[in-house]
Homo-oligomer: A and B are copies of this chain.
Amino acid sequence: MALIAADHPCTVAGVFTTNRVKAAPVVLDIRRIARGISRGIIINSGNANACTGRRGLDDAKKMCRATEKALGAKGGEVLVASTGVIGVPLPMDRIIPSVPRLVDELSPSGWLDAAEAIMTTDAFPKIASGRVDVDGTRVSLLGIAKGAGMICPNMATMLAFFVTDASVGHTVLNRALGEAVDASFNRITVDDATSTNDSVFVFANGLSGAPRISAGSSGYRAFTGLLKELSTELAHMIVRDGEGATKFLEIEVLGAATRADAERAVRAVSGSLLVKTAFFGEDPNWGRIIVALGTSGAVFNPDRVEVTLNGVKVMSGGVDTGKEKEAKRAIRKRDVKVRIELNAGRRSSRLWTTDLSHDYVRLNSAYRT
């Protein structure tokens, strides 16, 4: 368990899973966050409190209430996040008694401990921080995250929590967070699964003394830029920690006719089992990329497509370029950039994902035994 708390109410914003099936803590947080004010969030790992019915919602509320009481906060001021197994009620007899201890152990330097506490199948804790100038005053931003698969071995979820001393209202903070998440956590995939618990939060306490950030100002751009940067760092860490991953793949589609086409194309390629297994085998197999593009729904002329792997053009004008050996050498790296030029327009899109290895199958078939 982990607790993130502030001495005084903060502005808060959140982005939540688009899965129709939402875990109890997500249902509760969506209601509470509309007020825009929070004292903090209590987090447990190991149990997602998802598909737990009426009891699950009651348990989430009880976690908040116990934390509010221990912090001396008002009713409704604390949020909750859970990650872990789906369909099992929370062990409330162990959770509630541990809340006062969490409050006692709160520390301004406890971030790494918190990042470790929220891990499930993660191989390493994920933390990122930075500073930026807002109208002449330095503001700080720090984030922690967990995730090693959109869904780990039934240990559903990616969670991320940001805190900042910037001064920013709920609406503006929401907008900044939405922009940052779109450019980062929404651009990664390990296994194309969106969990019932995915949540990203940002808490702003305003203690930097910097002027209040207004929408569209230079301060907004600076703050949102840093939030995007840190979100992208954490998102990349999640992909690098992807279950069984041996490769970090950047898939980029250029020259699409529409934004939707670019998105369809990049998602089809990054979701293809055949593309992912080919990269695990270090095979510069552009045929599988073309097959995925062709079923994506994106409009393009196959005879105008170009595919480049780590700088080596393997397909051009719809046919092979005869550079297989060179390409094979080029992709013998942890990081592989796949660049697909559709030559059908001016829209582009980019995603980060992993290969598909033996270990992915092992982790996802053998757990819980």
Interface residues of A, Cβ cutoff 8 Å to B = 18-21, 48, 50-53, 85-88, 151, 154, 156, 191-196, 272-274, 277-278, 280-281, 283, 285-288, 290-295, 298-300, 302-303, 315, 317-320, 356-358, 360-362, 364-369
**Chain B min CB distance to A200 (Å):** 17
Apart from A52-B319, A53-B303, A194-B295, what 20 extra A-B contacts exist at CB < 8 Å? A18-B295, A21-B294, A51-B302, A86-B287, A87-B286, A87-B315, A87-B319, A87-B320, A151-B274, A192-B273, A195-B291, A196-B294, A273-B356, A273-B360, A277-B364, A280-B361, A280-B365, A281-B364, A281-B365, A360-B361
For A317, list chain B residues within 8 Å (CB).
Answer: 53
* Cα(A219)–Cα(B151), bound, Å: 51
For A50, list chain B residues within 8 Å (CB).
Answer: 287
**Chain B min CB distance to A283 (Å):** 6
Known: A87-B319, A277-B365. A193 touches B21 (CB 8 A): no
Q: List 24 A-B contacts (CB under 8 A).
A: A18-B295, A19-B295, A20-B295, A20-B299, A20-B300, A20-B302, A21-B290, A51-B318, A87-B315, A87-B319, A87-B320, A88-B320, A151-B274, A154-B287, A191-B273, A191-B274, A193-B291, A193-B295, A194-B291, A274-B364, A283-B367, A356-B361, A358-B362, A360-B361
Q: Name which of A50, A294, A315 has the most chain B CB atoms within 10 A of its CB.
A: A294
* Cα(A321)–Cα(B211), bound, Å: 54
For A299, list chain B residues within 8 Å (CB).
Answer: 20
**Chain B min CB distance to A239 (Å):** 15
A365 pairs with B283, CB closer than 8 A: yes
A193 pairs with B364, CB closer than 8 A: no
Copies in the complex: 2
For A286, list chain B residues within 8 Å (CB).
Answer: 87
* Cα(A299)–Cα(B21), bound, Å: 11
Q: Name which of A86, A274, A288, A367 has the most chain B CB atoms within 10 A of its CB.
A: A274
Q: Name which of A272, A294, A318, A365 has the most chain B CB atoms within 10 A of its CB.
A: A365
**Chain B min CB distance to A123 (Å):** 19
- Which 7 residue pairs are nearest across A and B when measured between Cβ atoms? A86-B287, A281-B365, A21-B294, A277-B364, A19-B294, A20-B294, A87-B320
* Cα(A87)–Cα(B85), bound, Å: 44
For A302, list chain B residues within 8 Å (CB).
Answer: 20-21, 51
For A318, list chain B residues within 8 Å (CB).
Answer: 51, 53
B274 pairs with A193, CB closer than 8 A: yes
**Chain B min CB distance to A21 (Å):** 4
B288 pairs with A151, CB closer than 8 A: yes
Q: Name which of A18, A50, A88, A285 has the most chain B CB atoms within 10 A of its CB.
A: A285
**Chain B min CB distance to A54 (Å):** 9
* Cα(A83)–Cα(B215), bound, Å: 57
B361 pairs with A277, CB closer than 8 A: yes
For A273, list chain B residues within 8 Å (CB).
Answer: 191-193, 273, 356, 360, 364
For A357, list chain B residues within 8 Å (CB).
Answer: 361, 365
* Cα(A150)–Cα(B318), bound, Å: 22
For A294, list chain B residues within 8 Å (CB).
Answer: 19-21, 194, 196
Known: A274-B151, A361-B280. A193 touches B366 (CB 8 A): no
